[in-house]
Amino acid sequence: MTKKQTLSKILLYYKFQPISDPDAVRLWQKELCERLGLRGRILISEHGINGTVGGPIDACKEYAKRTKEYFRGIEYKWSEGGAEDFPRLSVKARDEIVAFGAPGELKVDDNGVIGGGVHLKPEEVNKMVEERGDEVVFFDGRNAMEAEIGKFKNAVVPDVNTTHDFIRELESGKYDWMKDKPVISYCTGGIRCEILSALMKNRGFEEVYQIDGGIVRYGEKYGNDGLWEGSLYVFDKRMHTEFGQGVEDPGFIQLGHCKCGKPTNKFENCINEDECRQQTLMCEDCAAHIETRHCGRPECEKVAAQLAAQLGAGA
């Protein structure tokens, strides 16, 4: 059987630039996507645009061209997939395109975020670590959960459930020891660190960097042979992806583990869905059985045991 040819694509992009009327841009983007039959998620604020859309390849090309007329210099990342990867089209105007809870603090001009960290290309990241060694601190700009399956070597992973928690963390004093060190902030595709690095500099971190294109671009360049360790959490049905030859790669380092101790990179929902929103690493065995399909917290373990008993009795 031959592999079905892909005639659809997914586009990922963001651009920071001042938008005086976000709602007008929202209407234009919505009409454009509807006309082209694209689905996905687009957020617009007075600071810019952040989106992921999927659909027929010709429609994606047309969308990219039209959108670039307004968002000059926008860069697109093309990825496998299509409209079917999204439940619907959602185009919204919000206070922020990434919810840090700091809409008033973020300043942008036509060159992007003002006062953000210095951009480093993947090879410049390695060069800095070669030259300055252990002095360099990697600072994870994602949710702590994402780092459970992959992160930069010796990275500091802040205690955050959502990007909203970053300001509290940065102001907690926990990270003051790195304020005079070279800090390389990183996130999946780079957008979160555009903002995070500016928030850090505003709070006294003197030497802050960010990686051009984020972990994605670094991983494309170095695979499992650089400073990245493990898998990359992604926000689509796959949930995670690996670089190079994947988990079979001799350089791959397995970071993620199930509560039972088995290695896994797969996040699942806890079975106690009504009360627990925790996505948790689960091996196939634990995910396949009701009594073990929980996040590990005692209350969820109890609910799982009760459910298993009920279903067992009914069978």
Instruction: Please tell me whether residue 287 binds Zn ion under the rule CB under 5 A.
Output: no
Among 199, 208, 295, 304, binds Zn ion (CB under 5 A): 295
Instruction: Please tell me whether residue 59 binds Zn ion under the rule CB under 5 A.
Output: no
Interface stretch with Zn ion, choices 129-137, 151-159, 214-222, 291-299 (CB under 5 A): 291-299
In 10 A of CB 298, how many CB atoms? 8
Query: For the window 90-109, what string marks contact with Zn ion as x by the rule CB under 5 A?
Result: --------------------
Instruction: Please tell me whether residue 278 binds Zn ion under the rule CB under 5 A.
Output: yes
Nearer to Zn ion, 43 or 270 (CB): 270
Distance CA 52, CA 189 (A): 12
H-helix segments, the chain: 22-36, 57-70, 122-132, 166-170, 191-202, 214-222, 284-288, 298-314
Min dist CB 157 to Zn ion, Å, is 21
Length of the chain: 315
Interface stretch with Zn ion, choices 4-12, 184-192, 205-213, 295-303 (CB under 5 A): 295-303
Active-site residue list? 187
Interface stretch with Zn ion, choices 199-207, 211-219, 233-241, 263-271 (CB under 5 A): 263-271
Instruction: Please tell me whether residue 227 binds Zn ion under the rule CB under 5 A.
Output: no
Cβ neighbours for 127, distance < 8 A, ≥ 6 positions apart: none
Distance CA 186, CA 304 (A): 37
Among 182, 272, 301, 304, binds Zn ion (CB under 5 A): 272
Nearer to Zn ion, 253 or 260 (CB): 260
Nearer to Zn ion, 202 or 279 (CB): 279
Distance CA 147, CA 85 (A): 24
Take residue 46 and report the two structure tokens written for it.
């007075």
Instruction: Please tell me whether residue 281 binds Zn ion under the rule CB under 5 A.
Output: no
Instruction: Please tell me whether residue 303 binds Zn ion under the rule CB under 5 A.
Output: no
Beta strands in 57-109 (DSSP E): 75-80, 89-93, 108-109
Cα-atom radius of gyration of the chain, to the nearest Å?
21
Nearer to Zn ion, 96 or 148 (CB): 148
Among 27, 144, 276, 307, binds Zn ion (CB under 5 A): 276
Among 32, 199, 270, 281, binds Zn ion (CB under 5 A): 270
Cβ neighbours for 154, distance < 8 A, ≥ 6 positions apart: 134, 138
Instruction: Please tell me whether residue 300 binds Zn ion under the rule CB under 5 A.
Output: yes
Instruction: Please tell me whether residue 304 binds Zn ion under the rule CB under 5 A.
Output: no
Among 260, 288, 309, 311, binds Zn ion (CB under 5 A): 260
Give the distance from CA 220 to its chain's centroid.
16
Take residue 96 and report the two structure tokens written for it.
């922020």
Min dist CB 269 to Zn ion, Å, is 9
Number of residues that bind Zn ion (CB under 5 A): 11
* C-alpha distance from residue 153 to each of 56, 67, 228, 229 (Å): 39, 37, 6, 6
Cβ neighbours for 4, distance < 8 A, ≥ 6 positions apart: none
Which residues make up the interface to Zn ion (CB under 5 A)?
Answer: 258, 260, 262, 270, 272, 276, 278, 283, 286, 295, 300
